[in-house]
Amino acid sequence: MDSYYFLHNGSLSNINYSAYKSGLMALNSLIVELLSGEKVIKNNAVYDNPLYVKLFNDYAETDGIVKFIEQCTSVENNIDSDVMFESIYPMQNVGFMGVNFTKITGIAHERQIVDSMSLYNCRNLFFVRLIKEGQDKDLPLLLKYRFPTFVFSNDAQNDLLWWKNKNVDVINTIIDLLDDIPRNPFAGGLGKTEVLSNTTNPVVSKRITQKDRLTYTYGKMTKIHRCKEHY
């Protein structure tokens, strides 16, 4: 599950020094949030940007930025689009770390990383892809990464594998419903949320299809019971 996040040279161009410095400081702060197997790569054209040289004028303040850039792994290609990235790293997660993507084309918004939330979204895009296309044996680990406050029963995991093999597009609906649980655990939101049992820890359902339900018990660690059929 290796992930490569490219330091996008184009997003670092045509901006003023203040934006360049503050943007790179934000990216540098994300290093502590990277998971095992996640790596930032760069093309050495980043050094051609005259703004990079200015970092040394106030090195006491920008020391972390310089070290961040130096620690990025150098690659030969200056990757500038999703298509190019996936052709080079077809089985890895791919995303672009940058400062200003407003004028950049060829990169999906979900792959543009500028802060913690966009890193989270880019990573989750990859986890969804692996849940749908990856090896069945990796599903428990993928679910743990993607939904760290959920516990999936064996039945729920088997249900996801069933959908993967029978109608993979339904996986997107299920993931949307799972994401909706913390926002609307007992009523409202997606899937016509319905409490099924009047107990201290009630079982709740959200509709996946006309006949299939996502069922769960909401709590500090939410348990997912099933992702198929009725409770």
| Structure-model confidence comparison of residues 134 and 219, the more confident one | 219
Q: What is the mean pLDDT of the chain?
A: 92
User: Over the stretch 107-154, which tens digit does the pLDDT of each residue have?
Assistant: 999 999 999 999 988 988 888 888 888 889 989 988 988 899 999 999
Nearest residue to 174 (alpha-carbon basis) of 138, 130, 224: 224
User: Over the stretch 18-46, which tens digit does the pLDDT of each residue have?
Assistant: 999 999 999 999 999 998 889 999 999 99
Q: How far is it, in rounded angstroms, from Cα 120 to Cα 122? A: 6
How many Cα neighbours within 13 Å face the side chain of 188? 3
Whole-model pTM: value is 0.74
User: Any idea what DSSP says for residue 32?
Assistant: G
Structure tokens of 137? Answer: 């044996």
Q: Are 7 and 72 in contact (CB under 8 A)?
A: yes
Q: Are 24 and 49 in contact (CB under 8 A)?
A: no
Return the biggest CA–CA distance within the chain. 66
CATH topology for 137-227 is YaeB-like fold (3.30.2310)
User: Over the stretch 60-84, which tens digit does the pLDDT of each residue have?
Assistant: 888 999 999 999 999 999 999 999 9
